[in-house]
Amino acid sequence: MSAPWRILLGLLAGLLIGLLSPSIGAEWSSNLAAGAKVFGGLWLAGLQMTIVPLVVCMLIVGVNSATNAATSGRVARKAMLWFLLLLTLASSYAALLAPVFLSFFEPSEALINALRAGSTPPAPPSGLLLWLQQLVPTNAIKAAAEGSIVPLVVFALCFAFALNRIEAKRRAMLVEFCQAIADTMIVIVNGVLWLAPIGVACLILPVAAEAGAAVLGALGIYIAMLCCLYLGIIIALYAYVRLGGGETLSRYAPAILPAQMVAASTQSSLASLPAMMDASGKTLGYPANVVGLVLPMAVSLFRITSPVQYMAVATFIAWAFGIDLALAPLILATLLAVVISIGSVGLPGQAIFMGTNLPVTHSLGLPVEPLGLLLAVDLVPDMFATVANVSGDLAVTSRVARTTQPEGGIADLVRDLEPTKR
């Protein structure tokens, strides 16, 4: 049985036990919930202990990869420009629309109380000037020790960009070192995730015992929100290809449908790459040099739904706890989601969910305990997410292929942001 199904079954088992626990008596139910909180907290702590080295190292490796790709030629620079622009738009789209979607629903008071009882209290919001002052760490080691994600990301980005200014041989050694640390953290994360069915069951058991069926409704709202946001991204990508790239949808949509079907069935962008290559090269007839460069780059560096998920998850947690998010931290989290998404595309399986949602959620001062529950129900939205990611890869390939001209330079990059003249 695959890991996502094992985790989902763990969630259902914990949910069922939690719903039935009041019937065994108040004392037994209380002791069971207390024990589950301890074991669930230990499992979540096992994931949290890897986040600081994982985030720092994957950002350094990701920025290095993106910089190398951007300097490899004009086509690559165009692709990177669109990656960054679309990721920023996707992150902003989720930050704006997720609260609108959730505004149609009212969180249960029982759910809010149950979540607050089993979670770390959120950090109190600070003023704008204090918030800006804390962006740059005075001591990077102290920021890492305290788990201050945002200042740590600022340091990691400065380090990564400075790394690209030193001698290539020394830079390669440091990048390899960071990659080795990231790989080691992934091994630890995968080991902890092997216990995910038990950990998730322990996390949801006390919540279900106190909130009852309200937790089912909340998880249903979360799944519906993500699926709607992902579908919106897919529709927007068709508009991007038609209005921005000048491609006719009657030709484009049938051509990419086989790749989208592979994405839905495999839930893997990498497994969909051959189908994407056929759609772009053979069916649509885009230049081989563009298809052969942009699509592998997109699979390696570009996952358009990642910032959508990060912002939607954080917004949902704030909604479930009845917390109002301040504007300044929300803007910063929107940008942080873009940075994290570029550095995390290579992470495998459920490690992506925990390793990337934790920093964004933590940056907003929100409790991270609900992430284990949301991980368990990610199976359904993930199918829509993979289709959207593959659609994004193909859309950028189409846009770059239809706007690549023989001449080069910065003028091309500026022209690429303008709609194609028809």
CATH number at residue 144: 1.10.3860
With b meaning 16 or more CB within 10 Å and e meaning fewer, what string describes 224-256? ebbebbbebbbebbbebbbebbebeeeebeebb
Listed ranges 60-64, 236-240, 268-272, 318-322; the one with the highest mean pLDDT: 236-240
Question: Is 422 within a domain?
Answer: no
pLDDT band at 131 (very low <50, low <70, confident <90, very high): low
pLDDT value at residue 292: 87
Query: What six digits make up the tokens of 372?
Result: 């284990």
Q: Which of 264, 294, 283 is nearest to 394 (CA)?
A: 294
Rounded to a whole number of angstroms, the distance between the first and last alpha carbons of the chain is 52
- Tell how far CA 142 is from the center of its chain: 26
**Percent of the chain having pLDDT more than 90?**
20
CA distance readout (Å), 94 to 74, 225, 384: 30, 10, 15
pLDDT band at 422 (very low <50, low <70, confident <90, very high): very low
Query: Band of the pLDDT at 420, cuts 50, 70, 90?
Result: very low
User: Which tokens sit at 354?
Assistant: 């925990």
Compute the C-alpha angle 119/121/123, nearest 5°.
140
Residue 409 confidence (pLDDT): 40
8 Å CB contact between 396 and 83? yes
- Domain range spanning residue 58? 3-416
Task: Specify if 131 maps to a domain.
Answer: yes
Q: Is residue 68 part of a domain?
A: yes
Q: What is the structure's pLDDT at 133?
A: 65
pLDDT tens figures, 339-396: 888 876 555 555 677 778 888 888 888 888 888 788 878 877 888 999 999 999 999 9
61-118 pLDDT, tens digit each:
888 877 777 666 788 888 888 999 999 999 999 999 999 999 998 877 777 777 776 5
Look at residue 421 and tell me if it is in a domain: no
pLDDT of the residue at 406 = 44
Number of independent structural domains in the chain = 1
Q: For residue 114, give the amino acid letter.
A: A
Residue 31 has pLDDT above 70, yes or no: yes
In a domain, 104, yes or no: yes
In a domain, 39, yes or no: yes
What's the confidence (pLDDT) of residue 248?
Answer: 87
pLDDT value at 410 more than 60: no
Count CB atoms within 10 A of the CB of residue 73: 13
pLDDT in tens, 145-182: 776 777 888 888 888 888 888 888 888 899 899 889 98
Lowest mean pLDDT segment, chosen from 51-55, 236-240, 301-305: 51-55
More confident residue, 19 or 127: 19
Q: Could you tell me the pLDDT band of residue 414, with boundaries at 50, 70 and 90?
A: very low
The answer to whether residue 394 is domain-embedded is yes
Residue 408 lies in a domain: yes
Q: pTM here?
A: 0.81
The chain-wide mean pLDDT, for the chain, equals 81
Q: Percent of the chain at pLDDT above 70?
A: 86
Structure tokens at 3: 């890991």
Phi/psi of residue 196, each to 5°? -60, -40
Q: Is the pLDDT of residue 17 over 90?
A: no
